[in-house]
Protein backbone atom coordinates (compact mmCIF):
# COMPACT_ATOMS: atom_id res chain seq x y z
CA UNK A 1 0.00 0.00 0.00
CA UNK A 2 1.45 3.37 -1.01
CA UNK A 3 1.79 6.21 1.52
CA UNK A 4 -1.15 7.98 -0.17
CA UNK A 5 -3.56 5.05 0.17
CA UNK A 6 -6.38 5.58 2.65
CA UNK A 7 -9.26 3.60 4.06
CA UNK A 8 -12.21 5.89 4.86
CA UNK A 9 -9.71 8.74 5.09
CA UNK A 10 -7.26 6.89 7.36
CA UNK A 11 -3.71 6.31 6.05
CA UNK A 12 -2.63 2.93 7.53
CA UNK A 13 0.99 3.41 6.52
CA UNK A 14 1.15 6.48 8.78
CA UNK A 15 -0.22 4.72 11.85
CA UNK A 16 1.50 5.49 15.12
CA UNK A 17 2.47 2.13 16.61
CA UNK A 18 4.11 1.79 20.00
CA UNK A 19 6.53 -0.76 21.33
CA UNK A 20 5.17 -4.19 22.20
CA UNK A 21 6.93 -3.95 25.55
CA UNK A 22 6.44 -4.68 28.31
CA UNK A 23 5.56 -2.12 29.53
CA UNK A 24 2.77 -1.69 26.97
CA UNK A 25 0.06 0.99 27.13
CA UNK A 26 -1.44 3.44 24.67
CA UNK A 27 0.21 5.39 21.88
CA UNK A 28 -2.07 8.28 21.01
CA UNK A 29 -1.47 11.29 18.79
CA UNK A 30 -0.90 14.13 21.23
CA UNK A 31 0.06 16.97 18.90
CA UNK A 32 0.01 17.73 15.18
CA UNK A 33 1.81 20.71 13.72
CA UNK A 34 2.47 21.73 10.10
CA UNK A 35 5.90 23.32 10.06
CA UNK A 36 8.02 24.49 7.15
CA UNK A 37 6.81 21.91 4.64
CA UNK A 38 6.51 18.95 7.01
CA UNK A 39 3.84 17.65 9.35
CA UNK A 40 5.16 16.89 12.82
CA UNK A 41 3.38 14.21 14.85
CA UNK A 42 4.09 13.95 18.57
CA UNK A 43 2.62 10.82 20.12
CA UNK A 44 2.34 9.87 23.79
CA UNK A 45 1.92 6.97 26.20
CA UNK A 46 -0.33 6.85 29.22
CA UNK A 47 1.81 8.12 32.08
CA UNK A 48 5.50 9.02 31.75
CA UNK A 49 8.24 6.90 30.23
CA UNK A 50 7.92 3.89 32.49
CA UNK A 51 4.39 3.06 31.26
CA UNK A 52 5.23 2.29 27.64
CA UNK A 53 7.78 2.39 24.85
CA UNK A 54 7.82 3.54 21.27
CA UNK A 55 6.92 7.17 21.85
CA UNK A 56 8.68 9.43 19.39
CA UNK A 57 8.39 12.63 17.44
CA UNK A 58 7.62 11.72 13.82
CA UNK A 59 7.88 13.79 10.68
CA UNK A 60 5.66 13.33 7.62
CA UNK A 61 7.13 14.75 4.41
CA UNK A 62 5.35 16.11 1.35
CA UNK A 63 5.48 12.69 -0.34
CA UNK A 64 3.71 11.19 2.71
CA UNK A 65 6.76 9.28 3.84
CA UNK A 66 7.21 9.25 7.60
CA UNK A 67 10.30 8.97 9.77
CA UNK A 68 10.98 8.90 13.46
CA UNK A 69 12.99 12.05 14.14
CA UNK A 70 16.42 10.67 15.13
CA UNK A 71 17.12 13.30 17.77
CA UNK A 72 13.86 12.42 19.55
CA UNK A 73 14.07 8.63 19.54
CA UNK A 74 13.94 7.19 23.04
CA UNK A 75 12.18 10.21 24.58
CA UNK A 76 9.14 8.39 25.97
CA UNK A 77 6.38 10.07 27.92
CA UNK A 78 3.14 12.03 27.69
CA UNK A 79 3.49 15.05 25.39
CA UNK A 80 0.55 16.95 23.87
CA UNK A 81 1.78 20.54 23.68
CA UNK A 82 2.50 22.47 20.49
CA UNK A 83 3.10 26.10 19.52
CA UNK A 84 4.89 27.92 16.70
CA UNK A 85 6.70 30.93 18.14
CA UNK A 86 6.41 33.72 15.59
CA UNK A 87 9.40 35.88 16.55
CA UNK A 88 12.02 33.11 16.54
CA UNK A 89 10.27 30.87 14.04
CA UNK A 90 10.71 27.96 16.44
CA UNK A 91 8.31 25.08 16.88
CA UNK A 92 7.78 23.86 20.44
CA UNK A 93 6.29 20.37 20.40
CA UNK A 94 6.64 17.95 23.29
CA UNK A 95 9.99 18.55 25.03
CA UNK A 96 11.53 19.64 21.71
CA UNK A 97 12.41 23.02 20.22
CA UNK A 98 12.74 22.82 16.44
CA UNK A 99 14.46 25.48 14.36
CA UNK A 100 13.21 26.58 10.91
CA UNK A 101 15.87 24.41 9.22
CA UNK A 102 14.37 21.42 11.12
CA UNK A 103 17.22 21.15 13.61
CA UNK A 104 15.73 19.45 16.66
CA UNK A 105 16.75 20.18 20.25
CA UNK A 106 15.40 18.17 23.18
CA UNK A 107 15.06 20.06 26.46
CA UNK A 108 16.09 17.44 29.01
CA UNK A 109 14.53 19.29 31.96
CA UNK A 110 11.12 19.09 30.26
CA UNK A 111 11.39 15.53 28.94
CA UNK A 112 10.80 14.06 32.40
CA UNK A 113 7.40 15.80 32.72
CA UNK A 114 4.01 15.17 31.16
CA UNK A 115 3.64 18.26 28.98
CA UNK A 116 0.13 19.36 28.06
CA UNK A 117 0.35 22.99 26.92
CA UNK A 118 2.57 25.76 25.61
CA UNK A 119 1.54 29.42 25.51
CA UNK A 120 3.02 32.78 24.61
CA UNK A 121 4.71 34.67 27.44
CA UNK A 122 2.90 37.70 28.88
CA UNK A 123 5.93 39.92 29.53
CA UNK A 124 8.69 38.45 27.33
CA UNK A 125 6.82 37.20 24.27
CA UNK A 126 9.72 37.66 21.84
CA UNK A 127 11.98 35.11 23.52
CA UNK A 128 10.02 33.05 26.06
CA UNK A 129 7.00 30.74 26.32
CA UNK A 130 5.14 29.03 29.13
CA UNK A 131 5.02 25.24 29.34
CA UNK A 132 2.39 23.50 31.49
CA UNK A 133 2.64 19.98 32.89
CA UNK A 134 -0.25 17.66 33.70
CA UNK A 135 0.84 17.74 37.34
CA UNK A 136 0.35 21.53 37.45
CA UNK A 137 3.87 22.90 37.11
CA UNK A 138 4.30 25.98 34.90
CA UNK A 139 7.77 26.47 33.43
CA UNK A 140 9.25 29.41 31.59
CA UNK A 141 11.26 28.32 28.53
CA UNK A 142 13.77 30.64 26.83
CA UNK A 143 13.78 29.54 23.18
CA UNK A 144 17.29 30.47 22.06
CA UNK A 145 19.22 29.14 25.06
CA UNK A 146 16.51 26.56 25.97
CA UNK A 147 16.90 27.43 29.64
CA UNK A 148 14.01 26.39 31.88
CA UNK A 149 12.76 28.09 35.06
CA UNK A 150 9.90 26.85 37.26
CA UNK A 151 7.43 29.69 37.82
CA UNK A 152 4.43 28.17 39.63
CA UNK A 153 3.12 24.99 41.13
CA UNK A 154 -0.60 25.33 40.41
CA UNK A 155 -1.44 22.87 43.16
CA UNK A 156 -0.43 25.66 45.52
CA UNK A 157 -1.92 28.51 43.51
CA UNK A 158 -5.27 26.85 42.70
CA UNK A 159 -5.69 24.41 45.61
CA UNK A 160 -5.48 21.27 43.50
CA UNK A 161 -4.25 17.99 44.92
CA UNK A 162 -1.16 16.82 43.07
CA UNK A 163 -0.22 13.75 41.07
CA UNK A 164 -2.88 11.07 40.42
CA UNK A 165 -5.52 13.48 41.73
CA UNK A 166 -4.80 16.29 39.29
CA UNK A 167 -5.10 16.32 35.50
CA UNK A 168 -4.11 19.62 33.91
CA UNK A 169 -4.89 19.72 30.19
CA UNK A 170 -4.19 23.00 28.41
CA UNK A 171 -2.99 26.59 28.61
CA UNK A 172 -3.39 29.65 26.43
CA UNK A 173 -2.51 33.33 26.67
CA UNK A 174 -4.02 36.47 25.17
CA UNK A 175 -5.36 39.84 26.30
CA UNK A 176 -2.87 40.07 29.17
CA UNK A 177 -3.85 36.79 30.82
CA UNK A 178 -2.56 33.23 30.97
CA UNK A 179 -5.47 30.75 31.16
CA UNK A 180 -5.07 27.15 32.35
CA UNK A 181 -7.45 24.26 32.89
CA UNK A 182 -7.69 20.81 34.45
CA UNK A 183 -10.36 18.18 33.95
CA UNK A 184 -10.59 16.11 37.12
CA UNK A 185 -13.98 14.36 37.07
CA UNK A 186 -15.24 11.10 38.51
CA UNK A 187 -18.03 9.70 40.66
CA UNK A 188 -17.65 12.26 43.46
CA UNK A 189 -17.59 15.20 41.03
CA UNK A 190 -20.71 13.89 39.28
CA UNK A 191 -22.43 13.48 42.64
CA UNK A 192 -21.49 17.02 43.67
CA UNK A 193 -19.48 16.05 46.74
CA UNK A 194 -16.25 17.45 45.29
CA UNK A 195 -15.18 19.77 42.46
CA UNK A 196 -11.57 19.16 41.55
CA UNK A 197 -11.59 20.57 38.01
CA UNK A 198 -10.33 24.07 37.34
CA UNK A 199 -10.50 26.88 34.82
CA UNK A 200 -8.22 29.67 36.03
CA UNK A 201 -6.32 32.72 34.84
CA UNK A 202 -3.21 34.69 35.77
CA UNK A 203 -3.54 38.42 35.02
CA UNK A 204 0.12 39.27 35.44
CA UNK A 205 -0.23 39.75 39.17
CA UNK A 206 -2.25 36.92 40.72
CA UNK A 207 -4.16 33.74 39.95
CA UNK A 208 -7.96 33.59 39.96
CA UNK A 209 -10.20 30.53 39.67
CA UNK A 210 -12.94 31.08 37.09
CA UNK A 211 -14.70 27.71 37.40
CA UNK A 212 -14.49 24.73 39.76
CA UNK A 213 -15.41 22.40 36.89
CA UNK A 214 -13.52 20.10 34.51
CA UNK A 215 -12.17 21.87 31.40
CA UNK A 216 -10.14 20.33 28.60
CA UNK A 217 -9.32 22.89 25.93
CA UNK A 218 -8.58 26.61 25.64
CA UNK A 219 -8.05 28.53 22.41
CA UNK A 220 -8.72 31.56 20.27
CA UNK A 221 -7.11 33.85 17.73
CA UNK A 222 -4.78 35.73 20.05
CA UNK A 223 -5.17 39.49 20.26
CA UNK A 224 -6.51 39.56 16.67
CA UNK A 225 -10.00 39.24 18.18
CA UNK A 226 -11.26 40.00 21.67
CA UNK A 227 -12.21 36.43 22.62
CA UNK A 228 -10.82 33.42 24.49
CA UNK A 229 -12.73 30.12 24.45
CA UNK A 230 -12.59 27.29 27.00
CA UNK A 231 -14.42 23.97 26.70
CA UNK A 232 -15.56 21.97 29.74
CA UNK A 233 -18.54 20.20 31.25
CA UNK A 234 -20.43 19.21 34.37
CA UNK A 235 -23.29 16.81 35.17
CA UNK A 236 -25.81 19.07 33.42
CA UNK A 237 -24.18 19.62 30.02
CA UNK A 238 -21.11 20.50 28.04
CA UNK A 239 -19.88 24.06 28.63
CA UNK A 240 -18.23 26.78 26.55
CA UNK A 241 -16.78 29.64 28.60
CA UNK A 242 -16.05 32.76 26.55
CA UNK A 243 -13.88 35.70 27.61
CA UNK A 244 -14.54 38.99 25.83
CA UNK A 245 -11.86 41.62 26.26
CA UNK A 246 -14.17 44.50 25.37
CA UNK A 247 -16.05 44.12 28.64
CA UNK A 248 -13.41 42.06 30.51
CA UNK A 249 -15.88 39.29 31.29
CA UNK A 250 -16.28 35.52 31.10
CA UNK A 251 -19.72 34.28 29.94
CA UNK A 252 -20.85 30.68 30.34
CA UNK A 253 -22.74 29.00 27.50
CA UNK A 254 -24.08 25.44 27.64
CA UNK A 255 -24.02 22.85 24.85
CA UNK A 256 -25.37 19.31 24.39
CA UNK A 257 -23.30 16.26 25.23
CA UNK A 258 -23.12 13.99 22.20
CA UNK A 259 -21.92 11.04 24.30
CA UNK A 260 -21.49 10.12 27.94
CA UNK A 261 -18.30 8.23 27.05
CA UNK A 262 -16.40 11.50 27.51
CA UNK A 263 -17.66 12.00 31.08
CA UNK A 264 -14.46 11.00 32.89
CA UNK A 265 -11.14 12.81 33.12
CA UNK A 266 -9.26 9.93 31.48
CA UNK A 267 -11.71 9.65 28.60
CA UNK A 268 -11.68 13.22 27.35
CA UNK A 269 -7.99 13.13 26.39
CA UNK A 270 -7.17 16.34 24.46
CA UNK A 271 -10.13 17.69 22.47
CA UNK A 272 -9.07 20.92 20.82
CA UNK A 273 -10.17 24.38 19.81
CA UNK A 274 -8.19 24.95 16.60
CA UNK A 275 -8.12 27.32 13.65
CA UNK A 276 -8.39 24.91 10.71
CA UNK A 277 -9.63 27.27 8.02
CA UNK A 278 -8.49 30.87 7.76
CA UNK A 279 -9.97 32.84 10.68
CA UNK A 280 -12.42 30.02 11.42
CA UNK A 281 -12.27 27.78 14.44
CA UNK A 282 -13.15 24.10 14.69
CA UNK A 283 -14.15 22.82 18.15
CA UNK A 284 -14.10 19.14 19.18
CA UNK A 285 -16.12 18.91 22.36
CA UNK A 286 -17.74 15.95 24.14
CA UNK A 287 -18.19 13.89 20.99
CA UNK A 288 -19.34 16.68 18.71
CA UNK A 289 -17.63 18.95 16.19
CA UNK A 290 -18.66 22.61 16.01
CA UNK A 291 -17.74 25.49 13.77
CA UNK A 292 -17.03 28.68 15.71
CA UNK A 293 -16.37 32.26 14.71
CA UNK A 294 -13.61 33.90 16.76
CA UNK A 295 -15.53 37.17 16.81
CA UNK A 296 -17.98 38.41 19.42
CA UNK A 297 -20.36 41.33 19.03
CA UNK A 298 -21.77 43.17 22.00
CA UNK A 299 -19.93 40.77 24.27
CA UNK A 300 -21.92 37.80 22.90
CA UNK A 301 -21.21 34.94 20.50
CA UNK A 302 -23.65 33.29 18.13
CA UNK A 303 -21.36 32.00 15.38
CA UNK A 304 -21.45 28.51 16.94
CA UNK A 305 -23.03 25.64 15.01
CA UNK A 306 -22.88 21.85 15.43
CA UNK A 307 -21.32 19.90 12.56
CA UNK A 308 -21.43 16.22 13.48
CA UNK A 309 -21.05 13.63 16.22
CA UNK A 310 -18.28 11.05 16.55
CA UNK A 311 -16.82 8.48 18.92
CA UNK A 312 -13.17 9.14 18.02
CA UNK A 313 -10.75 10.08 20.77
CA UNK A 314 -8.86 12.86 19.01
CA UNK A 315 -5.70 14.30 20.54
CA UNK A 316 -5.27 16.97 17.90
CA UNK A 317 -6.24 18.12 14.43
CA UNK A 318 -4.86 20.68 11.99
CA UNK A 319 -4.81 21.89 8.39
CA UNK A 320 -1.93 20.72 6.20
CA UNK A 321 -1.51 21.02 2.43
CA UNK A 322 -5.16 22.02 2.12
CA UNK A 323 -6.31 18.94 4.02
CA UNK A 324 -7.79 18.47 7.45
CA UNK A 325 -5.72 16.01 9.49
CA UNK A 326 -7.14 14.25 12.56
CA UNK A 327 -4.89 12.43 15.02
CA UNK A 328 -6.55 9.69 17.07
CA UNK A 329 -5.99 7.56 20.14
CA UNK A 330 -7.47 4.31 18.86
CA UNK A 331 -6.29 1.14 20.58
CA UNK A 332 -4.45 0.49 23.82
CA UNK A 333 -3.55 -2.70 25.73
CA UNK A 334 -3.83 -0.51 28.86
CA UNK A 335 -1.17 -2.45 30.69
CA UNK A 336 -3.05 -5.70 30.18
CA UNK A 337 -6.51 -4.41 31.14
CA UNK A 338 -7.69 -4.59 27.52
CA UNK A 339 -7.14 -8.25 26.64
CA UNK A 340 -8.44 -7.83 23.08
CA UNK A 341 -5.72 -5.40 21.96
CA UNK A 342 -2.17 -6.63 21.44
CA UNK A 343 -0.30 -3.43 20.62
CA UNK A 344 -0.79 0.30 21.08
CA UNK A 345 -1.72 1.98 17.79
CA UNK A 346 -3.42 5.09 16.49
CA UNK A 347 -4.22 6.43 13.06
CA UNK A 348 -4.08 9.65 11.09
CA UNK A 349 -7.15 10.67 9.07
CA UNK A 350 -6.83 12.88 5.99
CA UNK A 351 -9.69 14.68 4.27
CA UNK A 352 -11.17 18.13 3.92
CA UNK A 353 -12.98 20.09 6.60
CA UNK A 354 -16.35 19.77 4.91
CA UNK A 355 -16.06 15.97 5.13
CA UNK A 356 -16.95 16.33 8.80
CA UNK A 357 -20.56 17.01 7.83
CA UNK A 358 -20.69 13.39 6.63
CA UNK A 359 -19.95 12.04 10.10
CA UNK A 360 -22.76 11.36 12.60
CA UNK A 361 -25.84 13.61 12.68
CA UNK A 362 -25.72 16.38 15.31
CA UNK A 363 -27.69 15.16 18.31
CA UNK A 364 -27.28 15.16 22.05
CA UNK A 365 -28.68 16.02 25.43
CA UNK A 366 -28.09 18.30 28.37
CA UNK A 367 -29.40 21.52 29.78
CA UNK A 368 -28.85 24.44 32.12
CA UNK A 369 -30.01 22.71 35.32
CA UNK A 370 -29.25 19.36 36.95
CA UNK A 371 -30.93 19.25 40.37
CA UNK A 372 -29.93 22.91 40.64
CA UNK A 373 -30.95 25.42 43.28
CA UNK A 374 -32.63 28.15 41.23
CA UNK A 375 -33.83 31.56 42.30
CA UNK A 376 -36.93 33.44 41.25
CA UNK A 377 -36.36 35.70 38.25
CA UNK A 378 -32.76 34.58 37.76
CA UNK A 379 -32.28 33.19 34.22
CA UNK A 380 -30.38 29.99 33.58
CA UNK A 381 -27.27 29.89 31.43
CA UNK A 382 -28.06 30.08 27.70
CA UNK A 383 -28.20 26.64 26.05
CA UNK A 384 -27.44 26.07 22.37
CA UNK A 385 -30.52 25.52 20.21
CA UNK A 386 -29.48 26.04 16.60
CA UNK A 387 -28.43 23.27 14.22
CA UNK A 388 -30.54 20.41 15.59
CA UNK A 389 -33.74 18.86 14.27
CA UNK A 390 -36.16 17.55 16.90
CA UNK A 391 -36.16 19.21 20.32
CA UNK A 392 -37.73 18.15 23.60
CA UNK A 393 -37.46 19.76 27.06
CA UNK A 394 -38.03 17.99 30.38
CA UNK A 395 -38.61 20.25 33.40
CA UNK A 396 -38.56 18.67 36.84
CA UNK A 397 -39.57 20.54 39.97
CA UNK A 398 -37.77 19.01 42.96
CA UNK A 399 -39.20 21.62 45.32
CA UNK A 400 -42.22 21.67 47.60
CA UNK A 401 -44.32 24.37 45.88
CA UNK A 402 -45.70 24.87 42.39
CA UNK A 403 -43.35 26.73 40.04
CA UNK A 404 -44.04 28.50 36.74
CA UNK A 405 -41.15 28.39 34.28
CA UNK A 406 -40.70 30.73 31.33
CA UNK A 407 -38.85 29.32 28.31
CA UNK A 408 -37.04 32.21 26.66
CA UNK A 409 -35.27 32.17 23.30
CA UNK A 410 -32.65 34.42 21.75
CA UNK A 411 -33.32 34.78 18.01
CA UNK A 412 -30.67 37.47 17.47
CA UNK A 413 -27.77 35.79 19.24
CA UNK A 414 -26.92 38.93 21.20
CA UNK A 415 -28.31 38.02 24.61
CA UNK A 416 -31.76 39.50 23.89
CA UNK A 417 -34.25 36.87 25.15
CA UNK A 418 -38.04 36.79 24.87
CA UNK A 419 -40.56 34.34 26.30
CA UNK A 420 -41.65 31.59 23.93
CA UNK A 421 -43.53 29.28 26.30
CA UNK A 422 -44.74 29.18 29.90
CA UNK A 423 -45.02 25.92 31.86
CA UNK A 424 -46.28 25.33 35.39
CA UNK A 425 -44.87 22.29 37.20
CA UNK A 426 -46.32 20.99 40.44
CA UNK A 427 -43.99 19.98 43.31
CA UNK A 428 -42.29 16.66 42.73
CA UNK A 429 -43.56 16.52 39.14
CA UNK A 430 -42.10 16.48 35.65
CA UNK A 431 -43.41 18.46 32.67
CA UNK A 432 -42.37 17.74 29.09
CA UNK A 433 -42.51 20.22 26.23
CA UNK A 434 -41.94 19.13 22.64
CA UNK A 435 -40.99 22.05 20.42
CA UNK A 436 -42.81 22.23 17.07
CA UNK A 437 -41.04 20.76 14.06
CA UNK A 438 -38.65 23.32 12.61
CA UNK A 439 -38.64 25.47 15.76
CA UNK A 440 -35.20 26.89 16.53
CA UNK A 441 -33.28 29.86 17.86
CA UNK A 442 -29.66 30.61 18.69
CA UNK A 443 -30.06 30.05 22.44
CA UNK A 444 -32.72 29.02 24.93
CA UNK A 445 -32.88 29.62 28.68
CA UNK A 446 -35.29 28.99 31.56
CA UNK A 447 -36.53 31.37 34.27
CA UNK A 448 -38.47 30.29 37.38
CA UNK A 449 -40.94 32.51 39.23
CA UNK A 450 -40.21 30.86 42.60
CA UNK A 451 -37.12 29.68 44.44
CA UNK A 452 -36.81 25.92 44.04
CA UNK A 453 -34.56 23.04 43.09
CA UNK A 454 -35.08 22.05 39.46
CA UNK A 455 -33.76 20.14 36.50
CA UNK A 456 -34.03 21.37 32.91
CA UNK A 457 -32.74 18.91 30.33
CA UNK A 458 -33.15 19.11 26.56
CA UNK A 459 -32.89 16.19 24.18
CA UNK A 460 -32.05 16.88 20.52
CA UNK A 461 -32.46 14.14 17.91
Alpha carbon of residue 50 to chain centroid: 26
Alpha carbon of residue 42 to chain centroid: 18
3-state secondary structure at position 109:
helix
Q: Is the peptide bond before 321 cis (omega within 30 degrees of 0)?
A: no
3-state secondary structure at position 200:
strand
- Other CB atoms closer than 10 Å to residue 446's CB: what's the count? 23
**Is the predicted pLDDT of residue 2 greater than 60, yes or no?**
no
Per-residue pLDDT tens digits for 408-452: 999 999 999 999 999 999 999 999 999 999 999 999 999 999 999
Q: What rounded mean pLDDT belongs to the chain?
A: 95
Per-residue pLDDT tens digits for 33-63: 999 999 999 999 887 777 778 888 999 999 9
For range 79-89, the mean pLDDT: 97
Least confident of 17-26, 54-63, 282-291, 306-315: 17-26
Above pLDDT 90, what percent of the chain?
Answer: 89
* pTM of the entire predicted model: 0.96
Least confident of 82-96, 156-170, 434-448: 156-170
For range 72-90, the mean pLDDT: 94
- Binned at pLDDT 50, 70 and 90, residue 358 comes out as very high
Q: How far is CA 372 from CA 207, 214, 380, 460, in A?
A: 28, 18, 10, 21
3-state secondary structure at position 188:
helix
Q: For position 20, what pLDDT does the model report?
A: 86
For range 294-321, the mean pLDDT: 95
For range 256-264, the mean pLDDT: 96
**Is the predicted pLDDT of residue 337 greater than 90, yes or no?**
no
Q: For position 302, what pLDDT does the model report?
A: 84
- Binned at pLDDT 50, 70 and 90, residue 1 comes out as very low
Q: How far is CA 7 from CA 11, 134, 289, 335, in A?
A: 6, 34, 21, 28
Per-residue pLDDT tens digits for 102-128: 999 999 999 999 999 999 999 999 999
For range 372-398, the mean pLDDT: 98
First to last CA, the chain: 40
Q: For position 164, what pLDDT does the model report?
A: 82
Nearest CA to 117 out of 219, 37, 10 is that of 219
Amino acid sequence: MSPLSTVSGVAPSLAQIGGFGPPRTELGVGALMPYNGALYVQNYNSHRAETGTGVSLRRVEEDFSMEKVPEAIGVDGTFTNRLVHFETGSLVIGPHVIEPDHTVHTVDELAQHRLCGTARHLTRPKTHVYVLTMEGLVFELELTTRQVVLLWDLNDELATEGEWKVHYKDCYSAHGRLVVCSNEYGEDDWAGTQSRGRLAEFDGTSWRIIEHKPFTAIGGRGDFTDTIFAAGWDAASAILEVYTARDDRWTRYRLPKASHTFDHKWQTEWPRIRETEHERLLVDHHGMFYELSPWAYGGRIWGLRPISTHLWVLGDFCSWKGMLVLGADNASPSGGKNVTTAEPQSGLWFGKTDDLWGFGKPSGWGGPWWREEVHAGEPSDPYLMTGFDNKCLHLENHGETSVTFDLEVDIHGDGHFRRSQRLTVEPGCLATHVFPSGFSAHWVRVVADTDTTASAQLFYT
